[in-house]
Each structure stands twice: as C-alpha cells, then as structure tokens.
Amino acid sequence: MRHPLTKTAIWAGTCVAGLGAAALIAFGAQARTDEAPAPAPALTVRLTVPQEQEVAKRFAANGTVAAWQEASVGSEGNGLRLTNVLVNVGDSVRRGQVLATFERETVQAELAQLQAGVAEARAQLAEASANAERARALASSGALSSQQVQQYLTAEETAQARLEAKRASAHAQQLRLSRTQVLAPDDGLISARGATAGAVVPAGQELFRLIRGGRLEWRAEVTPEEAARLAPGSEVTIHAADGQPVRARVRQLAPTVDPRTRTALVYVDLPKVAGLRAGMFARGEFDQGRGSAITVPQQAVVVRDGFSYVFRLQDDGRVSQVRVRTGLQLEDRVEVIEGLTAQAQIVAAGAGFLSDGDFVKVVGR
C-alpha cells in the first residue's frame, strides 16, 4: 500500500514540470521574435549630399541656320527668251548687277513701231490744232456754223488724246525693253537659280533666289521657361560644322509659341563664317553669366515617365523617391532647381535600380 504523500508529491512534480515547459516555450517564442531577421537590402549604396557651387549659367538648344531675308528675282517680261545667264548659285552680287538678259530685238522692233505711231499722232494733232484755231477765229464772223466749229474743236481734243495714248504705249514698251536685263535688287548671295539660257519665260516666273546681304540667322527652339530667361542681346555660342565655336547675339524672340511642339523660336544674328550654311542644323549654348547652384551627381538622377527623381535615405534605412526639377548639365553633375534641400542624404549612384521604399545597405559613411 502506497503512502498518501506519494500521490501528492507526484502531482506537485507534474505541475512544476508543466509550468517549466510552458515557461521554456514562452521564452523560446520571445527569443525568436527578438531575433527576426531584417529584410535583405535591395542594393548597397553610397550616400551624398547636394553641393552648392558657382557655375556658368548656360543652357543648350538646337536649331536651324536660315537666311535672314530672301529676295525672289523673277521675270517681268512675258514670252521672252533668255539669252544669257551671268551668275550661278553661290555667287556674291551687288545691287543693280545684271544677272541675266532676255532677247531685245523683238521688244526694240515693237518700240520702234510705237514711236512711229507717236510721230503720226503728233502730226495729226498739229493739223487738228490748226483747224481748231481757224475755227475759233471765224466763229464770231458767221462764216462757219457753230456745229462746224464744235467739230474742229472736238477733232483737236481727240488728236491730243490719241497722242497721249501713243506716248503711254511707247513708254510701257520702253520699260519692257529695260527689263530685258534682270538686275539684282540688293547686295547678297545667290542661293538658288531657276534660269536656263534659251528658255522662253512667262511673266512672274522665279529666276533667282537671293540671300539679302548674305546675312544668316540661327533659329533656335527653346522651351517657354528658357525663353523667359533670354532677351535681345543675350550672348550665344554656336558650334559650326567644322567644330569651331561661333560667338553671336540674340536679335529677337518670337512673340508666340508653337502649339504643336510647345517651343518658341529665338532669332540669333550670325557673323559671316565659312562653317555656317543656310539649311544646316546647329547646336548652341546661351550664356547667362555665372551664379550659385545646387548640384548633385549625374548618376544620382533617374528619369522616369518624363520626370527626374532622386532617392533620399530615411531613418529606417529605406529610400523614398523624390521628384526634382533639374537645370544645367555641368559635366558629371546636374543642377537641381527645386525639390531637394541642401541637407538631404541621397543615393549617389545606381538610383536606376531602386524603387520607392526599398531597403538599402549604406557603405562608406
């Protein structure tokens, strides 16, 4: 027979063992909670902060070299044959210089015929004037009726009108004769030629196209924000086809913005240099002096959906995507106009591999 204390002791030991096991389980669970592993970093990065530096304020633009003004030189004669073409594309010409000549013989013959008609009309006027003078003298004597007197006077006026008409026709033919020579309307450079010797040319057909004064301009396309920073007289450096920089100045800004491209034109007067030709593409930089700017490394900026972003480090080791507005490109750095404070810690490189909220490992602090 067992002693009664034995059952009590066994029950007490069982309770103690149970409590110990529960405590051990609870301690293990707490230990597992405290030792939960941190999320794996998406990228190992180095940090940087924006820098303030003095920079040359300039921005680049693209555009086309074009003639400042063009003059169209056409034919004023109708149905005349070109006998000589004296200039070609690329030739420099002076105002009043003969560019081409038309056949003169036909016009001269017609002019001679009209001049003979003028002489005939002058003789008829002299005869009509003499008759009218006698009629005026005899009007008071009654030798001529009033009807006859009026006829002589009317004949004089008719002869005078006929002479004026003949003179006008002869003058018009004289002008036509003078226009058998095609003259340059201004100093300039021949940019196109449509004249061909031997061709019969109708009136109004273009024979030559002339760049007035040989002046060229660069028509740069800029955004409205960039146009607001410019004014007539602003300095520009344009890179010609041979790579040589060309210094120029803004002449004027277009008063409107193209609704399709959302760009404005800037007209820049160009000096006469060998590396610039009308119709060519050119790139230039608008110089706006020097000033201070907040810059970040170029690799710190990532462009997504047409906007620029940097990644700023938060206190929990994650990064947040921050939208910024950029400005000048300064070799390996980019100007940040807005969206970033000077104390912000941002990812220096590899931002293109990150997403908003990624956990990162920082090295080299």
At residue 203, the pLDDT reads: 84
Taken as a whole, the chain contains a residue count of 365
Task: Say which residues have a Cβ less than 8 Å from residue 212's Cβ, sequence separation at least 6.
Answer: 67, 68, 69, 70, 71, 186, 187, 188
> pTM, whole model, 2 decimals?
0.60
Tokens 């950029």 map to which residue?
326
Instruction: Report the distance separating Cα 68 and Cα 267, nearest Å.
Output: 9
At residue 39, the pLDDT reads: 74
More confident residue, 15 or 190: 190
Q: Comparing 1-5, 88-92, 109-113, 209-213, which segment has the lowest mean pLDDT?
A: 1-5
CB 86 within 8 A of CB 123: no
Instruction: Report the distance separating Cα 361 and Cα 197, nearest Å.
Output: 80
Instruction: Report the distance separating Cα 247 and Cα 269, nearest Å.
Output: 10
Q: How much is the average pLDDT of 270-294? A: 85
Domains of the chain listed by start with CATH number: 43-55+292-362 (2.40.420.20), 60-68+216-291 (2.40.30.170), 70-210 (2.40.50.100)
Instruction: Report the distance separating Cα 217 and Cα 331, nearest Å.
Output: 29
pLDDT in tens, 48-82: 999 888 877 778 899 999 999 999 999 887 778 88
Distances (CA, A) of 57 to 62, 147, 298: 17, 94, 17
What amino acid is encoded at 63 in this protein?
A: G
Q: How much is the average pLDDT of 232-237? A: 91
Q: What is the distance, to the nearest Å, from the Cα of residue 189 to the centroid of all Cα atoms in its chain?
A: 22
Q: How much is the average pLDDT of 7-26? A: 45
At residue 37, the pLDDT reads: 62
3-state class of 7 per DSSP?
Answer: helix
pLDDT in tens, 154-206: 998 999 999 999 999 999 888 888 888 899 999 999 999 999 998 888 888 89
Q: What angle do CA 105, 110, 112 make, to 5 degrees?
A: 95
